[in-house]
Structure 1
Amino acid sequence: MGILKKVGLTIAVSVVLFGYIIHRPIPHDVPHRFKYQMLIDVVSFQELLASVTEKLGYSRWWSYRAIPKPPSTLPDGMKVENKMLGGVETVIITPRSFQAQKEPGPAIIHFHGGGWIMGNTGRYLSPDTTMMLLLQAAEETGFVVMSPEYRLAPEHPFPAPYDDCMNSTISFMKSSKRFNVDPKKIILSGDSAGGNLAMAVYIGLIEMQASDPTVELPAMQTLLYPILQTLNFMTPSYEQSREFMFNNNLLPKFWLAYIGLNDQLELADVVARNSHVDKSDVELIEKWNLVSPNLIPDDVVYEDTLNGDVRKLMKQMILNTKISPLLASNEIISKIKKTLVLVCEYDPLRDDGILLVERIKSLGGSAELHHLPTSLHAASHIGASMPGSYYYQENKIFFKSLKDAIFNV
């Protein structure tokens, strides 16, 4: 074969690979569509590359890890420090206005996203976006921001990430005076899987308070496009938007890796079809009303060929409220003081956030929903990295709501 034919064949294969496997077209009404499209194609390519290299035995699935590093420039007067809290390395950001005040002020404890298996405070989807989001949060609110570098699955599956988030939170709350922070104005926050961890930690603190009344509860929780349950992967938002950001199996893969089943990722297809749920199991079916009423398709078939131990583990993890906090009891949910949730229209996780807000309201609690109608998952990160953009302005609105809320708890 001549060199031109080889080049032509390579180009043709590349076009097919990109067009039919990697490229995931997004809706035309998404602001800053070109940048978002590039981001999604990069994520899709990474997932494909990771899966292929693992099958060939070269590396483990999704072995891409980011190296924490501060952004090249900091906002004027912003102080960024690394501290060990509860045995966990953390980043603490203190804005200039906070440094100058004498009275203790509020603080945000933020857990980064990344599907429990990737990301850190220095990077999430592209260099520095999580740090940029943390810096914008500190700048817009004037609050101290703390974020832990929790351990990641699959090397450190559940409960390691949760434990790190809990331990660093408790340590920060107990040493709040050291940072001039008012312990009664601490906000638990997180994005995506970090939102899952934030609510899980809040629930854990509620349970601790039941046996130890001296345990302080956070003043509120703020969750950005959180994943809150692993019972139903076929909510309307999953059906509408899974192809815009993730392939059908990516979120189930994240969950499998998180619960210690990284060696059985082929089960992701089973989970994506909701076939991991036994419709004859009373405990599981009772929880359906908490995630999406009447949304169990009649044609969903339970995958009864699952290994007995795997089936038992899946049920245990589905019902564990440290993994699926949306499934917590009404008694627990009603003790969350205040909740602020941001969801994106074109996001498989949209309905998790909506269901939480509606449930809290139904119990007489305080919850506020911010819905971005033409946005995809990770919109706040895009905004933090694009000053002046639509998403950046939406971040400003969200952080203003957070600031207003904390002074009216």
Structure 2
Amino acid sequence: MASSLHNLLSKIIKTGTLIVRGSGGEQRYGSGGGRSVSIRFIDEAAERELVADPPLKLGELYMDGRLVIDDGDIYEFLALIKDNTLSEGLTFGMIWRGIARVLVSQFRNRVPINHNRRNVAHHYDLDEKLFSLFLDEDWQYSCAYFNPPGISLDEAQIAKKRHIVAKLLAEPGQKALEIGSGWGGMAMYLSESSGVDVTGITLSTQQLKISNQRAAKRGLANSVRFELQDYYYLAPDKRYDRIVSVGMFEHVGRLNYPKFFDKVNDVLADDGVMVLHSIGQPYPALINNPWIEKYIFPGGYIPALSEVMPSIEKAGLLVSDIEILPMHYAHTLRHWRERFMANKDKAAALYDERFVRMWEFYLAGSEMAFTHESFFIFQMQIVKKRTAVPDNRDYIYEREAELKAFEDSRIPLDKVAV
């Protein structure tokens, strides 16, 4: 085993057990107890590459099959690393690469080039069959709401829609806008449950096609429409009574927060209500994870609340409610990863084995962000006038009960007659 890797792991792994098999045979790290994981390096160069740049190379080596998990899985390995402190294990190579990434990130933040369409296509315009392998029946590709605890993924995704629509205070005859409409599930639920006319906008051609097909199948073509549209170019003279955005804000980018909320201010009616559902992190980050940036979500950024609030205030908007959901995305990602791995042969047939390992690493690493790095979901209710919403939260639970009754009578999409 490369001496640099041995020195690094000796400093990092104090609790739990890590068995490493490589060029120099087998080595054991940690004091035992807790997690136990065994990994194997296929070539000595992989050991040196990992030490030189762990944030990028760990994922790449796993994708390429040069780092193999013999006992445990990739989530357990990542969690074992995070269970231990990393502060003493920094090498000179990690430090200078980190500095270089900070400089590049700061430069990009000051060159506001709009690559939204390209960045969205990189992830969301993959073969739709891939997403059918692990999402719920309504293809909700955002955090579910596991209330009550222990419900299924499908039940939790319905609960998420119910919770958000209750916060919107939607009423028949209103016009609503969904920014980042995905495969159309939220827009259709909002329209059917509340009698609202909904316009959904997306930058994914695949999602646009599928969401329009699904709305037509439900007979909602006159009340739900989807458009290939960037929020930035929404006409300011068209107002919406309700705005909802779920899982899209992570793609806006921190330099664009003022533009985003200025646009919300432009298109939200004076007595309107918006609900923003997004991943958050506990403090601002200097850089994105380089592996996620390169392979999964180019141009994405997870905001801290301290970065979001100033832009809301400067846009002249008011925050009327914030709810923090700490662990619901960890549960969602665990369901997704288990479903995906149960269908990994089908995923490999769509792409290849390397893609399967890439997607597994993405889902495992994302889950770990919520279990070990204090990431969370925030749902923020935003208004122009404080009188647009009640001064207590009882209405949310009362409306959820009404929506639950609607769901009990709603025909599932796969049962709708064509």
Task: Normalising by structure 1, report the TM-score.
Answer: 0.30
Greater Rg by CA = 2
Task: Normalising by structure 2, report the TM-score.
Answer: 0.29
